[in-house]
């Protein structure tokens, strides 16, 4: 069969039901094979949209997301989603068309060195040089994307090779001698970790996106409940521990709660699970958790002691390690009351510094109020995607996620424009769930074209636009650290979002009074098809609390 038909067969063999993409000259053969190949193709309006949709699909479902693009500009438009998937460890496979082999290296029409451009931001990439290698390459790509620390794998297929006639036999095993992720975790280290937890008087469990990726939130919860361990999550880990909960401290880091950050600061033992001590978590590294010893559980050995030296490193899959850790912990004699003093201190912080904001005295909608309204309107039961900025942080603070894979955002790369296309992907993966995109007015413009995809494909995402007419987070920094010299942050009043939504064939709504906001949101959720609700919020509101960049948890402001 043609190599492209083999590509489609391989995709089906990997369990792929949907791909996102955009055709062009170099991947025309692939699209011919997709015509009646039996895999759903969602035609996105921009390759960046297709890439983020594949990420949203992967994050919501846990399955590998797939995006296709043609050579040259198609592939370069994919670079941002590829990098995004790298930094957030999203299992994704990107298949790009490449110019004919005789044109490679000649600056041919729509030629770009795709594997070269993406090299630093992929888990692995493969430039096909022999069409007979295609089935193996695809099988390896899916294996690499979904195992170990997940990530993006890119396959670049020259147009002529994709038309070659090859024999296709299903691939049932991969041979990658240089790739042997450790999954089980060292038994001695796990024992040591259990002992450390048993001896700790001020422990904190700090969980990240790795727990979500490992589908280990049940196991995490069991560990936390094995004793009264306080638990906090990174922005990528939200939902890994069911919120709200007595033992839940809220998110940590730059815009985390004071309880979480102060607990990290005073902890004598921090158990990091699938988290990587990012600078948004540690702040000033030399003053980060100065009294703590660290257990670090991660599937990627390169994360261990990268930023913070680990006392008890455990390399492996959280899903395999945590049950063993719980078993070892339960086998020890522990005194639950030893944590009473610690909890008293934490409760003190909670009571003294709860998350909060000053609500308006008139009908003005405060952005935090908007997130609370969204929580009410959705009964806390929705997949929420977000763009990047203030609204993302407010959502992380004020929307409690009871389960993993409900909160989909761009944490590592911080990609504006991520929200709408990832909502599209999430809704395609989970057609029966409510999918809401909390957008910012800066971010939404960056991939608004995917509204057309949502309308055409009948994907009923609801976009709640937090509209403050500013690039809000940048404005906040300019206000706080740059003497209010507002440079390049005023978005003016355009566009008319209601008309824009309608122009795309979606429903547009507007809300500017807090009294009726929940009602308007409920109405939007009950409306068929995609909806954009333009919510006019306070123009200049700052996201607090905040650890100014490069400072310590103790220096939190607001």
Partner 1 sequence: MGEEPAPQAVLDLDELQIPGGRQTGRRHILSILVENKPGVLARISGLFSRRGFNIDTLAVGPTDDPRISRITLTVDGALHPIDQVTKQLHKLINVLKIRDLEPRETVARELALFKLAAEGESRGQIVQFAEIFRGKVIDVSKRSLTVEVTGTDDKIEAFEDLVRPYGLIEMVRTGEIAVARGRSTT
Interacting residue ranges for partner 1, rule: CB under 8 A: 115-116, 119-120, 123-125, 127, 129, 144, 176-179, 279, 282-286, 300-302, 306-307, 477, 481-483, 549-550
Least distance (Å) between residue 514 CB and partner 1? 33
Taking the C-alpha atoms of residue 458 and residue 228, their distance in angstroms, rounded to an integer, is: 46
DSSP string, 48-59: HHHHHHHHHHHH
Least distance (Å) between residue 481 CB and partner 1? 4
Least distance (Å) between residue 393 CB and partner 1? 18
Q: Which is nearer to partner 1, 200 or 297 (CB)?
A: 297
Least distance (Å) between residue 384 CB and partner 1? 29
Torsion of CA 279, 282, 287, 288, to 10 degrees: -150
The one-character DSSP state at 304 is T
Q: Which residues contact 217 (CB under 8 A, 6 or more apart)?
A: 211, 239, 240, 241, 242, 403, 404
Tokens of 150: 């997940």
Taking the C-alpha atoms of residue 444 and residue 459, their distance in angstroms, rounded to an integer, is: 17
Taking the C-alpha atoms of residue 93 and residue 77, their distance in angstroms, rounded to an integer, is: 15
Q: Which is nearer to partner 1, 298 or 387 (CB)?
A: 298
Mark out the alpha helices in 247-356 (DSSP H runs).
Answer: 258-266, 279-282, 318-331, 340-352
Q: Which is nearer to partner 1, 124 or 554 (CB)?
A: 124
Residue 424 near residue 454 (C-beta atoms within 8 A): yes
Q: Which is nearer to partner 1, 168 or 179 (CB)?
A: 179
Q: Which is nearer to partner 1, 142 or 401 (CB)?
A: 142
Taking the C-alpha atoms of residue 40 and residue 17, their distance in angstroms, rounded to an integer, is: 6
Least distance (Å) between residue 152 CB and partner 1? 13
Q: Which is nearer to partner 1, 12 or 306 (CB)?
A: 306
Q: Which is nearer to partner 1, 128 or 251 (CB)?
A: 128
Least distance (Å) between residue 123 CB and partner 1? 8
- For β-strands 152-158 and 248-251, DSSP reports them as unpaired
Q: Which is nearer to partner 1, 298 or 457 (CB)?
A: 298
Mark out the alpha helices in 399-535 (DSSP H runs).
Answer: 419-429, 441-444, 450-456, 472-481, 497-503, 517-526
The one-character DSSP state at 461 is -
Least distance (Å) between residue 119 CB and partner 1? 6
Torsion of CA 449, 450, 451, 454, to 10 degrees: 150
HEC profile of 192-225? HHHHHHHHCCCEEEEECHHHHHCCCHHHHHHHHH
Least distance (Å) between residue 101 CB and partner 1? 13
Taking the C-alpha atoms of residue 207 and residue 228, their distance in angstroms, rounded to an integer, is: 16
Q: Which is nearer to partner 1, 144 or 325 (CB)?
A: 144
Least distance (Å) between residue 480 CB and partner 1? 9
Least distance (Å) between residue 214 CB and partner 1? 18
Q: Which is nearer to partner 1, 314 or 521 (CB)?
A: 314
């Amino acid at each position: 069969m043609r190599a492209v038909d083999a590509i489609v067969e391989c995709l089906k063999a990997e369990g792929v039901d949907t791909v996102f993409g955009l055709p062009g000259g170099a991947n025309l053969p692939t699209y011919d094979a997709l015509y009646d190949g039996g895999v759903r193709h969602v035609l996105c309006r921009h390759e960046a949209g297709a890439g983020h949709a594949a990420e949203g699909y992967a994050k919501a479902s846990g399955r590998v997301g797939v995006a296709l693009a043609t050579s040259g500009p198609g592939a370069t438009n994919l670079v941002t989603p590829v990098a995004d998937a790298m930094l957030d460890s999203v299992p994704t496979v990107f298949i790009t068309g490449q110019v004919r082999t005789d044109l490679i290296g000649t600056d041919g029409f729509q030629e770009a060195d795709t594997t070269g451009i993406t090299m630093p931001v992929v888990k692995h990439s493969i430039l096909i040089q022999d069409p007979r290698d295609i089935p193996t390459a695809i099988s390896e790509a899916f294996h690499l994307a979904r195992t170990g620390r997940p990530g993006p794998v890119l396959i670049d297929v020259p147009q002529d090779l994709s038309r070659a006639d090859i024999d296709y036999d299903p691939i049932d095993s991969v041979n990658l001698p240089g790739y042997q992720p450790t999954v089980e975790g060292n038994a001695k280290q796990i024992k040591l970790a259990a002992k450390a937890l048993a001896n700790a008087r001020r422990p904190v469990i700090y969980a990240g996106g790795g727990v979500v990726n490992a589908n280990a939130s049940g196991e995490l919860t069991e560990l936390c409940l094995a004793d009264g361990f306080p638990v906090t999550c990174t922005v990528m880990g939200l939902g890994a521990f069911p919120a709200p909960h007595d033992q839940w401290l809220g998110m940590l880091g730059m815009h985390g709660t004071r309880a979480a950050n102060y607990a990290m600061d005073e902890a004598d033992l921090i158990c990091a699970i699938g988290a990587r001590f990012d600078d948004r978590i540690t702040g000033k590294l030399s003053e980060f958790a100065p009294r703590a010893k660290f257990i670090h559980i991660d599937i990627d050995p390169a994360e261990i002691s990268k930023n913070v030296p680990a006392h008890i490193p455990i390399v492996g899959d959280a899903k395999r390690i945590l049950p063993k850790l719980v078993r070892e912990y339960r086998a020890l004699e522990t005194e639950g009351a030893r944590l009473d003093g610690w909890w008293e201190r934490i409760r003190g912080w909670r009571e003294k510094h709860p998350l909060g904001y000053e609500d308006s005295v008139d009908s003005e909608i405060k952005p935090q109020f908007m997130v609370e309204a969204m929580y009410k309107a959705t009964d806390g039961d929705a997949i929420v995607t977000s763009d990047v900025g203030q609204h993302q942080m407010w959502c992380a603070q004020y929307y409690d996620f009871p389960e993993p894979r409900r909160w989909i955002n761009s944490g590592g790369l911080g990609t504006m424009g991520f929200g709408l296309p990832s909502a599209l992907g999430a809704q395609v993966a989970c057609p029966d769930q409510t999918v809401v995109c909390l957008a910012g007015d800066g971010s939404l413009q960056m991939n608004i074209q995917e509204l057309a995809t949502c309308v055409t494909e009948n994907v009923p995402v609801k976009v709640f636009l937090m509209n403050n007419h500013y690039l809000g987070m940048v404005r906040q920094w300019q206000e706080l650290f740059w003497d209010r010299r507002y440079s390049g942050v005023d978005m003016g009043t355009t566009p008319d979002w209601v008309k824009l939504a309608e122009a795309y064939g979606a429903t547009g709504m507007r809300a500017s009074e807090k009294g009726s906001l929940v009602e308007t949101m409920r109405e939007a959720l009950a409306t068929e098809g995609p909806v954009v609700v333009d919510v006019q919020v306070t123009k200049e509101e700052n996201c607090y609390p905040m650890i100014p960049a490069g400072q310590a948890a103790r220096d939190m402001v607001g």
